[in-house]
Amino acid sequence: MKKLTIFILYVFLLPLFASSQEKIKLVVIGAHPDDCDIDAGGTAIQFARMGHQVLFVSLTNGDAGHYEKGGGALAKIRRAEAKEAGKRLGVEYLVLDNHDGELMPSLENRLELIRIIRKWQADIVIGHRPNDYHPDHRYTAQLLQDAAFMVVVPNIASDVPALKENPLFLYSHDRFQKPAPLKPDITIDITEVYDDKTYGMAAHESQFFEWLPWLNGTLDQVPQTEEERLKWMHGIRDQEINKEVLASLIKWYGTKKGKGVKKAEVFEICEYGRYPSDDEIKRLFPMLKN
């Protein structure tokens, strides 16, 4: 009888306890379908599996990213790929209708991004840095910066209620060094979910098995089976674990666990948003508490 009582209490009270835990809302902004997956897919998986809410947003429809397909037909393919990637990663995926290669940091796009962030009631917003090879990436970063702070201004995009507190805005990793390299303020261990991230990225077939190999001159090397393709993808756009990244891992995970990390995602704090304390970062990134 005692065991039965404990079991009943466990069954009924556990959901109540779980629902009382703070739900973090994350928005990842990319210029193209697949950018969010590359930049924050492993982090997003961890948030989603912990019961938090994640939205991926592609500011363009990707209708130029191919060597033989294009226009509306390609946009349809890429939207379907993003939808599948979202299912695999456990996130919602929103693809806007701006043309690939033509994104501009316009007032219209700024207001649309402000509304998206507000509707999601984001706690964290992640996007590209402003120094990048692709103009769509640069202008996505500009739009992210322009939305920071403005999301709390009631008279801007007043049809959607302003946020009461500015989210934490972060830049995702890249390898560009000028005018300054990425500063690894927050580094997330994705070793255990790396294969799952790769599986999610692989949903963007037109990119990883057609367009990018064509650009790199390796189209004839693309494997045919799913298993071989997933192995082939390992290492694509990975963050190098250099001494700065390792120092960040040790800060957040401790020396033993930090040194054991094989795969990581790195983020730099955008000073236009909230600038959190270490304790607040641990609250916003609950995987750092483990």
What's 149-193 look like in SS3? Answer: CHHHCCCCCCCCCCCCCCCEEEEECCCCCCCCCCCCCEEEECHHH
Mean pLDDT across the chain, nearest whole number? 93
Q: How far is CA 137 from CA 67, 112, 122, 169, 180, in A?
A: 20, 17, 21, 16, 16
Q: What is the mean pLDDT of residues 100-114?
A: 98
Please tell me the distance from the alpha carbon of residue 259 to that of residue 63, in angstroms, as a whole number.
41
Provide the pLDDT for residue 19: 44
pLDDT at 105: 97
pLDDT of residue 235: 85
pLDDT tens for 6-31 read: 434 444 444 444 444 689 999 999 99
Q: CB–CB of 238/263 below 8 Å?
A: yes
At 129 the three-state DSSP class reads coil
Instruction: Work out the angle between the directed axes of helices 35-49 and 194-201 (0-180°, nearest 10).
Output: 130
Q: What is the average per-residue pLDDT within 230-245?
A: 92
Q: What percent of the chain has pLDDT over 70?
A: 92
Gap between the Cα atoms of 271 and 204, Å rounded: 32
Q: Comparing C-alpha atoms, which of 126, 235, 133, 140 is closest to residue 176?
A: 133
Residue ranges of domains in the chain, CATH in brackets: 23-278 (3.40.50.10320)
Listing DSSP states for 232-277 in one string gives HHTTTTPPP--HHHHHHHHHHH-HHHHHT--SEEEEEE-TTS----
Please, which pLDDT band fits residue 4 given cuts at 50, 70 and 90? very low
pLDDT band at 236 (very low <50, low <70, confident <90, very high): confident
- Residues 72-99 have pLDDT tens digits of 999 999 999 999 999 999 999 999 999 9
* Predicted confidence (pLDDT) per residue in 150-197, tens digit: 999 999 999 999 999 999 999 999 999 999 999 999 999 999 999 999
Distance CA 184, CA 66 (A): 32
Average pLDDT rounded to a whole number, residues 42-49: 98
Query: What does the pLDDT look like over 135-148, one tens digit per residue?
Result: 999 999 999 999 99
User: In this predicted structure, what is the pLDDT of residue 17?
Assistant: 42
Full strand arrangement of the beta sheet holding 25-30: 92-98, 53-60, 25-30, 124-127, 168-172, 264-269, 186-189
Residue-wise pLDDT for 239-287, tens only, equals 999 999 999 999 999 999 999 999 999 999 999 998 899 999 999 999 9
